[in-house]
Structures are given as structure tokens and as C-alpha cells.
Amino acid sequence: MIGKATTATKRPQKSEAAMQVAVASASAPTFVQGRRSFFTYRDLGVSAASNGRIRAQVTAAKTGMSKPTGWHYHVCEAQFVYMLSGWIELEFADRPLLRLEAGDSVFIPGGLPHNELRTSDTFELLEVSVPADMGTEKCAPPETR
């Protein structure tokens, strides 16, 4: 089995830069600037190791959200969120209110409008995005809300 998986692994094309191993230590975290001032963002080294193909970070609340973020979407291929602790509530057009708690996850395709409504006073979540450089654009609320 291991041999089959190894031979099936795609190798980078000569024009692609090779990816590296990334190791991040909780005892020596690297914090980076993020989208929201009321959260902290711990870089896991994946952006540099993947040459910008993927970003992985742990986002944590300094304090609970005092107001919704407002409707927005991300300029990326996709975003994946896995709740490590606490909770967050989000809304999407044509979907019921979504409350993610520890152990829950959500996959958000790039360009999909959503709104972060509220959070527990403290939380941690793992966020992965493709590509690493993910933009955020404000947008109007959907007509269904």
C-alpha cells in the first residue's frame, strides 16, 4: 500500500517550485496580521512551504465579536474552517443559520457571500485557504435575508 501511494504522488513540474515540510510549534508561535483586529492569527508555515499555494492558520478570539462582520466574500478558490474550541455563527444566502462548535467544520467555495454574526468569548479554529493569498471583499446582503 505504501508503495502504491508513493508512486501515485504527483511530483512538481519543473516550472513549479518544490514544496517544503512545514512544522509549527505551539510553544514558539508565529503570529501574523489578519483580517480582523479582534482575532489573533497564528501562522502554521504552510504558505511559505507551499510557495503560496495553501495557507493554514489558527485563528483565535481575543474577545467575542461585538457586531457582525457584514456580508463579504473571499477572493480565493476555497476556504475550510474546523472549530477547535468555542463556537461561531455564520449565515449564508438560502441556508439556515449555521453555528459551528468544537469538532464542526465548513467548506466555503471562493466568492460565496457570507456573514459572521457572533462568537463565543473565546474560540480557536483552524482555517485553510487555497491559494494562500486570500482577499476579502464587502458585498451587499442577499435579497433572501
Q: What class does CATH assign to 39-145?
A: mainly beta
The owner of cell 455563527 is 89
Q: Is 99's pLDDT higher than 80?
A: yes
Q: Are 106 and 88 in contact (CB under 8 A)?
A: no
In this prediction, residue 11 carries a pLDDT of: 55
What is the rounded distance in angstroms from the CA atom of residue 114 to the CA atom of residue 132?
20
pLDDT band at 77 (very low <50, low <70, confident <90, very high): very high
Mean pLDDT of 33-56: 92
Window from 3-17, 31-45, 46-60, 114-128 with minimum mean pLDDT:
3-17
Residue 75 identity: V
Mean pLDDT of 81-109: 96
